[in-house]
Structure 1
Amino acid sequence: MIYTAHAPYAPLGAAHHFGRRLADRPVLFLVWFSWTMREPRTVRMLATAVAVYRRRRPNHRIILMCNEEEERAAFAAEGVDAVLCSSNLFVDEETFRPLPGSVTSYDAVYNGAMVPWKRHRLSALIASCAHIFYRKAEYDKAMAYLAELRASLPHHTFINEVVDGNIQMIPAARVNSVLSQSRVGLCLSAEEGGMYASVEYLLAGLPVVSTPNRGGRDVFSDPDYWITAEESPEAIRDAVGEMMRRKVAPDDIRSRTLERIHQHRANLRSAVAAGTDGKVMLPGDLSAPFYRQMPVWETRTDLAARIGLTSERGDLAQV
């Protein structure tokens, strides 16, 4: 069983890298998405890739792990094995949790890459907001965007340090500490994938204000502690104010989120059992450490070594 990411240059992830060399073995590839995949053209292209691959290697099974029901239904209609199984099921609930006794310093917090499509400026009218960020775009573009935001949002706090011109990542425990000092989590992009930060907020006991979006982050939402607001600074400000007035108990947000996460983990367990004819069974304890491992980037060489192959190239693959 290989858990692997879709990528534009390798739509079936590790299956494209190693499928030929594993052709004589039964393999289950679980392909997950880091971006929304429900556009009809995208669905047709990936469904075709799956069909062509399986004709060549019938010994292999491929299951697409979809972040939202619209994706699952679209791929199922094309005859592809697909399951509603958000990649956010791997967020570690032991790291992200309410911290009793924390002093609240920020009305809102936004954890997002330093790229314009995260739409940080929609938070402009929030009186106090913490920004946790990292570089995802080219260096010059990320730093220019950061400088623009600092100038346009002088009343906000930018958490990460910049050392020698590089944005310093902060560890997950530090992220959780900042969340514990905040009242509301923000999700402001129009589309992406499941957005790990959205579930980190919820597990830390924060209600969420989101914009309408595609990608699946709202599969863990609940009307009691999740508001989808219009795409304007005024609407975001008002929704944050409404969430602060509701005063939903952090432990209630967390416990109800865990119920949804455990359902997605159960979906994963069922999919693996079905995809391997019962030969592989993931842990029945849906809180087991197995389910709390975030995807990591590995070179093709390292991944090959992990599954007992040698590789002549060192391209990156996410698994």
Structure 2
Amino acid sequence: MNAFTRSGRRMIRLFRNPKVDQLLKIYHRAGGAMRQAAFDNLGLHHTHWRIVDPENLTTYTSLDLQTPWQLELAAKAPPALLKKRSLHLLDATWHFHSIDLSTYKALFERVARTTPLAKFVIIARTPFCAYRLGQAGIGAIQANSSAFEDDRAWSIEEPPSGGAPRYEAIYNARLLDWKNHHLTKALKNQLFVYEHPGQDSDLVHGFRKDFPNACFANHDLNDGIYRYFDEKDLSRLLADAHVSLALSFKEGFMRASLQSLLAGKPVVTVENIGGRSRFYHDDTALFVAPTPEAVKAGVHVLKERRLSPEFVRREAMKLLQIERRDVMESINGIRGDVFGPTARTLDFEAFRGIKFRRAPVLDFWQALEQAVG
């Protein structure tokens, strides 16, 4: 069954935002303020994006699995995607292990018809994700987006007190049930970091009842007002804990896990889906059962190993370099298919830090139009 059967249309509507047509009309008729309003109405405020190569037009954007706006817009055949060959890398924010791919397949088929010069490829979290997408006829490569992490932004710091770390463990994760903070309850003290503006003081208060000895860093270290921590701040916070934690069962790519390793902190983790384990070394990461007692025991084991932060970072960098090499080979291979053998070979520097710099979607669309001329 193709994308234009009645059933196919119904599948596409699972994704289709009814404002897409309105967005394109406003975008091509209106000035800057109205254009921004049109994108805002679609909920497209910010995304991770970059024009990686304007010559052999290659773009990167993050892909929200529930709202694949790039594909929705491409299906409308906007002029920016009809003028020249282009490659668009869609970095999935979640895994595809259990998602019904029929809707994606229908949408990809439609895009291939409406914008034949534009090639869309999903960056999938795990080999199984890439396999499933490939079996469905959807272009995909396998990579963990943490491969694009700028390792230079993370440093090994001394504990703020100048002595031993004050906290048994640090957990950098949003305050959500599926992050499994409850698995830390057996620890005597925890340092919680939650890099998300939506984590307001009322939510923190609710969590505090269950973790009376924890430091909720984003509020407690700023007089109760939410504070965002940059890489340097987080490196210092990581130095104040013996061990880092990664306790969710399912994730996208969980960049906080790799960031901890780059700052020299070993990780206690549980079995998981999503790809973060690609950067774990047997000495610097410990898998435990998903119970508070097992997490506590795991923290003790890693603490007693007395690993030097330099060793932890060095082993993470070895695995990171392998991941970067593999993903660049895949990307350049696809570029060869799209643009021909004369396409410039890209190196990692074209992608360094790409995942973690958010910018307005409208800025991306305008940059895309400028790149095609």
Q: TM-score range by the shorter chain?
A: 0.7 to 0.9
- The correspondence of residues 85-96 of structure 1 with structure 2, limited to 5 A, is 85-96=143-154
Residue 282 of structure 1 aligns to which amino acid in structure 2? L
**2:246, 2:257 within 8 Å by CA — same for their partners in 1?**
yes
- Between the aligned partners of 1:304 and 1:240, the Cα distance in structure 2 is 46
Count the aligned residue pairs: 302
1:37 corresponds to = 96
- The correspondence of residues 147-186 of structure 1 with structure 2, limited to 5 A, is 147-161=205-219, 167-186=226-245
- Between the aligned partners of 1:52 and 1:263, the Cα distance in structure 2 is 35
Alpha-carbon displacement from aligned partner over 1:95-129 (angstroms, at most 9, x marks no partner): 21322576422211011112222221211111222
CA gap of 1:164–1:203, structure 2 versus 1, over 3 A, is closer
**2:71, 2:108 within 8 Å by CA — same for their partners in 1?**
no
- Between the aligned partners of 1:185 and 1:132, the Cα distance in structure 2 is 11
2:155 corresponds to = 97
1:5 corresponds to = 62
Deviation at 1:9, TM superposition (A): 5.1
2:329 corresponds to = 270
- 1:242 and 2:326 are equivalent in the alignment: no
**2:85, 2:118 within 8 Å by CA — same for their partners in 1?**
yes
Alpha-carbon displacement from aligned partner over 1:216-267 (angstroms, at most 9, x marks no partner): 1111112222122222111111111111112223222212211222222223
2:354 corresponds to = 293
**2:201, 2:219 within 8 Å by CA — same for their partners in 1?**
no
Larger Rg over CA atoms? 2
- Between the aligned partners of 1:176 and 1:84, the Cα distance in structure 2 is 29
- 1:122 and 2:178 are equivalent in the alignment: no
Deviates more, 1:260-269 or 1:289-298: 289-298
The 4+ residue runs of structure 1 with deviation greater than 4 A are 162-166
2:320 corresponds to = 261
Q: Which runs of 5+ in 2 are unaligned?
A: 1-57
- 1:205 and 2:269 are equivalent in the alignment: no
Alpha-carbon displacement from aligned partner over 1:267-296 (angstroms, at most 9, x marks no partner): 33222322222514222xx5x474233343
Deviation at 1:203, TM superposition (A): 0.7
- 1:51 and 2:109 are equivalent in the alignment: yes
2:345 to 281, 295, 317: 281
**1:114, 1:136 within 8 Å by CA — same for their partners in 2?**
no
Deviation at 1:164, TM superposition (A): 9.5
TM-score calculated relative to the size of structure 2: 0.74
Residue 178 of structure 1 aligns to which amino acid in structure 2? L
Residue 171 of structure 1 aligns to which amino acid in structure 2? D
**1:119, 1:188 within 8 Å by CA — same for their partners in 2?**
yes
2:21 corresponds to = none
**2:127, 2:142 within 8 Å by CA — same for their partners in 1?**
yes
**2:62, 2:93 within 8 Å by CA — same for their partners in 1?**
yes
**2:130, 2:142 within 8 Å by CA — same for their partners in 1?**
yes
- Between the aligned partners of 1:29 and 1:217, the Cα distance in structure 2 is 24
2:32 corresponds to = none
1:14 corresponds to = 70
Alpha-carbon displacement from aligned partner over 1:174-218 (angstroms, at most 9, x marks no partner): 011111122111111221210110000111111111122221111
- Between the aligned partners of 1:106 and 1:197, the Cα distance in structure 2 is 18
- 1:25 and 2:81 are equivalent in the alignment: no
Deviation at 1:49, TM superposition (A): 2.5
Deviates more, 1:2-11 or 1:158-167: 158-167
**2:204, 2:216 within 8 Å by CA — same for their partners in 1?**
no
DSSP 3-state at the match of 1:276:
helix
CA gap of 1:210–1:267, structure 2 versus 1, over 3 A, is same
**1:67, 1:193 within 8 Å by CA — same for their partners in 2?**
yes
- Between the aligned partners of 1:276 and 1:39, the Cα distance in structure 2 is 29
- Between the aligned partners of 2:286 and 2:67, the Cα distance in structure 1 is 36
